[in-house]
A and B are shown apart, each in its own frame.
Chain A
Amino acid sequence: VMLHSKNVKVFLENTLKPYDLHSVDFKTSSLQSSILLTATNGGIMSFATSNSDVPKNSINEINSVNNLKMMSLLVKDKWSEDENNTVEQPTNSCYPVEIESFKTKIYTYEMEDLHACVAQIPNSDLLLLFIAESTFPYGLLVIKIERAIRELSDLFGYRLG
């Protein structure tokens, strides 16, 4: 099965949107990045970033893509470590969730001055990774990524190669 790369990219772009609440005076920035990566080697399958003003193929854009690659690798390694962590100590940064009777876990990580949130798309070789500024609350990132995963049911069970 092939990924519909255009629709996947648009979907990731749609996940970047910020919150702007009116019941209380609270708003967030957009996500900095939304990335679909492989759980096997941390390679990036597709990504969207909110700094769209970076000119294409400029040195800045190349740097920011290299940054994303580096962060994706770091998160994938940490995720693998946590997933294989048999000693089930409940931590504040791991949220077991059940989506359409599939189980997965949402992890929150601090990466330098950024907030990262990652979850395996159920039964697949794919991870969804959100990267936001440190002002974006972890609890809200968890809600956001869980809702996004629910919309990715086309990719449940997706296996590479």
Chain B
Amino acid sequence: NIKGTIAFDSHGNVIESTGVGSTRIEDICELSRVALDAEGFAQVQGDSLLVHLYKRDDVTLAVYT
């Protein structure tokens, strides 16, 4: 199911990106502002993609499905 990933830090700098994530680096600006739940999770959708977010230790992982 995974179409790509982006891991980014609290400064919005990329740590790794794969698949569709490598072509959507500019999403970081918007994804870094998404409100996360108490455990650090969130899900957003757009451009026919579902993005699963999880943040821990100042690193946010975005998985595109």
Chain A residues with CB under 8 Å of chain B are 19, 21, 24-26, 92-93, 95, 108, 137-140, 142-143
Main SS of the interface on chain A? mixed
B11 and A95 contact, CB distance less than 8 A: yes
Within 8 A of A (CB), among B1-52: 5, 7-9, 11-19
Cβ 8 A contact of B13, one of A19, A24, A26, A92: A92
B18 and A25 contact, CB distance less than 8 A: yes
> What is the count of residue pairs linking A and B with beta-carbon distances less than 8 angstroms?
36
Cβ 8 A contact of B15, one of A92, A95, A140: A140
B18 and A139 contact, CB distance less than 8 A: no
Chain A residues contacting B15 (CB-CB under 8 Å) are 137, 139-140, 143
| Closest residue of B by beta carbon distance from A25 | B18
B12 and A26 contact, CB distance less than 8 A: no
Chain B residues contacting A24 (CB-CB under 8 Å) are 5, 16, 18
Chain B residues with CB under 8 Å of chain A are 5, 7-9, 11-19
Chain B residues contacting A25 (CB-CB under 8 Å) are 18-19
B9 and A142 contact, CB distance less than 8 A: yes
CA gap between A87 and B12 in the complex, in Å: 22
B11 and A26 contact, CB distance less than 8 A: no
Chain A residues contacting B11 (CB-CB under 8 Å) are 92-93, 95, 139
CA gap between A139 and B16 in the complex, in Å: 8
CA gap between A93 and B12 in the complex, in Å: 10
A-B contact pairs, 6 of them (CB 8 A): A25-B19, A26-B17, A92-B11, A92-B12, A139-B13, A143-B15
Within the complex, what minimum Cβ distance (angstroms) separates B33 from chain A?
Answer: 14
Chain A residues contacting B8 (CB-CB under 8 Å) are 139
Chain A residues contacting B7 (CB-CB under 8 Å) are 139
A137 and B13 contact, CB distance less than 8 A: yes
Within the complex, what minimum Cβ distance (angstroms) separates A132 from chain B?
Answer: 13
